[in-house]
Amino acid sequence: QQPVQSPQAVILREGEDAVINCSSSKALYSVHWYRQKHGEAPVFLMILLKGGEQKGHEKISASFNEKKQQSSLYLTASQLSYSGTYFCGTERGAGNMLTFGGGTRLMVKP
Amino acid sequence: DAGVIQSPRHEVTEMGQEVTLRCKPISGHNSLFWYRQTMMRGLELLIYFNNNVPIDDSGMPEDRFSAKMPNASFSTLKIQPSEPRDSAVYFCASSLAPANVLTFGAGSRLTVL
């Protein structure tokens, strides 16, 4: 079952913050985050395993609330290079297939 | 490593023709995935292989689609006959299971007229 992402789109000015949410109705083993720039392939950002850990990648971090089966991606002090579509992918067990959400289109303006 | 290599990058064909998309995964990766991306349906998993064996093909739209992985370094996705609604970008991705961190190929953009 496909995870649900929100919002579907967000427009920011450089330096502003954003949060992208991903939720599932099923118990999850892990949540992955990918970013896809226009005309390119999705690129892996980070993976969060069940346990509620938080991870960071430069000024992009994420959390995973195992009880709520929700993950959030935090983008702080956004840069123009952050523009793209962000996808969360969920796994229900180790080595299971990865199911992607519908994506969140992020546009950062100068 | 050259990454995941897909061919062709672009394919334009007419309805009813056979289309074959090819993928070379990253050496050492043991899982391979075929995804289809459209504006309407997003990223859909079509089929995935583990150690060259198809594990889940429930995403394959219908019998017109078939996928093979004859060895660890090569996979094909075939559509026969093709239809306009098959127009999409088809991505191949590979990973080292059980950690399914996917590396995607550049994609094959298919247009069926």
Which region among A2-6, A18-22, A89-93 has the lowest average model confidence (pLDDT)? Answer: A89-93
Average pLDDT over residues B81-86: 96
Find the closest chain A residue to B56 by CA distance: A97
Q: Give pLDDT tens digits for B13-38.
A: 999 999 999 999 999 999 999 999 99
Mean pLDDT, all residues of chain A:
90
Q: Rounded to whole angstroms, how far apart are CA atoms B20 and B8?
A: 9
Residue of A35, A98, A105 for testing the chain B interface, max B β-carbons within 10 Å: A98
The helix/strand/coil state of A37 is coil
Per DSSP, the residues of B9-68 read SEEEE-TT--EEEEEEPPTT--EEEEEEEETTTEEEEEEEEETTEEEE-TT--STTEEEE
Residues B105, A94, A69, B54: is their CA dihedral positive or negative? positive
In single-letter form, the type of residue at position B38 comes to T
The phi and psi torsions of A74 (rounded to 5 degrees) equal -110, 125
Gap from B43 CA to chain A (nearest CA, Å): 6
Spell out the residues 6+ positions from residue A1 whose beta carbon is closer than 8 angstroms to its own: A24, A25, A26, A99
How would residue B50 be classed by pLDDT, with cut points 50, 70 and 90?
A: very high
**Residue B25 forms contact with A (CB below 8 Å):** no
Question: Degrees (nearest 5) of the Cα angle B88, B90, B96?
Answer: 155
Gap from B107 CA to chain A (nearest CA, Å): 7
**Residue B43 forms contact with A (CB below 8 Å):** yes
Cα distance between the two ends of chain B: 36
**Residue B97 forms contact with A (CB below 8 Å):** yes
pLDDT of residue B7: 97
Q: Which of A76, A62, A74 is nearest to A31 (CA)?
A: A62
Q: Reply yes or no on whether the pLDDT at A57 is more than 80.
A: no
pLDDT of residue B22: 98
Gap from A7 CA to chain B (nearest CA, Å): 15
Q: Rounded to whole angstroms, how far apart are CA atoms B28 and B14?
A: 37
Q: Rounded to whole angstroms, how far apart are CA atoms A84 and A105?
A: 6
What does the block give as tokens for A75? Answer: 């983008």
Question: Among residues 25-64 of chain A, which lie with CB inside 8 Å of chain B?
Answer: 32, 34, 40-44, 47
Which region among A49-58, B39-48, B70-79 has the lowest average model confidence (pLDDT)? Answer: A49-58
Residue of A1, A100, A104 for testing the chain B interface, max B β-carbons within 10 Å: A100
